[in-house]
Amino acid sequence: MRAPALLLTATLATAAASPATSLLAAGQYAQAYDTARAAGDDVTASEAALAEALYHAADPGMWLGRAADAGRAATRAAPQDAGAHRTLGTVLCSQAARGGYTLGAYRLSWSCRSEYERSLALDPAAAETRAALARWHSGAWARAGVFGGGDPSAARHLAADAQTHAPADLRVLVQVGLVAVDLRDSAWARRAFQAALAVAPGDAQERDLQAVARAALSRLE
C-alpha cells in the first residue's frame, strides 16, 4: 500500500447502489470503472479510476488520466453537482502531485483548488470538501511556502471546522491528519489518525484510507 504524495478523497454523488458502486465499495476499482463508463456514470467512473491510481495501479498516471476525463465529463453533464466537482478536484490535485515543480503541475494544482471551491459553494456544509480544501492549502504551503499559494492559517481553520462537524467521518479524519502533518503539528495528526483507525470502515476505500492513516501514524512514532 503506497501513501500518495497528495492524498485526497471523494464521495460518491450517487446515493442508490448500482453494479458500478457495488464494485467500487468492494474494492474492485478497475472493474467499477469499466462498468460505470459503460453505464454512462462518469462520477463513479472518475472515483473508481482515482482509487485504482492511488491504491492498486502499477501505472497511476494512466488511471489518473482516465479519472480526469471522466471527471470533466461529469462536471459538464452536471455542473451543479458538488460531488462531481470534488471528485474532479481530487483527481487534478493527484495529477499535480505527480508533476513535481513544473508549470503544468502548478496549473493543475490551482485548477484543483478551483474545483474544491466550486464544490464548497454548491454544498457549504460538506465537511469532506472543507477537509480536502484544507489539504490543498497545507500541501501547497508544505511544498513551496508562499510561492505555492497555500495558507497555513486557512488550512488549520478549514481542517478544524471539518473535524468539528464530522468527528467520526473516517475520510475527514484522515485528511485532517495529513493536514496536521503538513503543518508539523504531530500531536494533532496523531489524534486524528488514531480516531480514523477507531472508526469501522464502510467500504474498501475507507479500508485503504485506514492503511494510509496507519502508515502515517507509524512515521510519527
Assigned domain for 187 exists: yes
Q: Domain check: are 66 and 30 in the same one?
A: yes
The pLDDT confidence band at residue 7, using thresholds 50, 70 and 90, is low
Domain, as residue range, for 116: 19-124
Cell numbers of 114, please? Answer: 478551483
CA distances from 134 to 2, 64, 198 (A): 22, 22, 22
Q: Average of pLDDT values for 140-151?
A: 86
Instruction: Dump pLDDT digits (tens) for 32-50.
Output: 999 999 999 999 999 999 9
Instruction: Dump pLDDT digits (tens) for 57-74.
Output: 989 999 999 999 999 999
Assigned domain for 173 exists: yes
Instruction: Dump pLDDT digits (tens) for 195-206.
Output: 999 999 999 999
Q: Domain check: are 115 and 32 in the same one?
A: yes
Q: Domain check: are 117 and 151 in the same one?
A: no
Assigned domain for 114 exists: yes
pLDDT score at 51? 96
Say which amino acid occupies 7.
Answer: L
Q: Which of 73, 93, 124 is the last residue of a domain?
A: 124
Calpha distance 3→18 (Å, rounded)? 29
Q: Domain check: are 111 and 159 in the same one?
A: no
Assigned domain for 4 exists: no
Task: Look at the chain and report how many structural domains it folds into.
Answer: 2
Assigned domain for 129 exists: no
pLDDT score at 69? 98
pLDDT over 60 at 3, yes or no? no
CATH number at residue 163: 1.25.40
Instruction: Dump pLDDT digits (tens) for 147-169.
Output: 788 999 999 999 999 999 999 99
Model-level pTM? Answer: 0.90
- C-alpha R_g of the chain: 16
Assigned domain for 203 exists: yes
Calpha distance 70→75 (Å, rounded)? 9
Assigned domain for 134 exists: no
Assigned domain for 26 exists: yes
| Angle of CA points 21, 22, 27, to nearest 5° | 95
pLDDT score at 16? 61
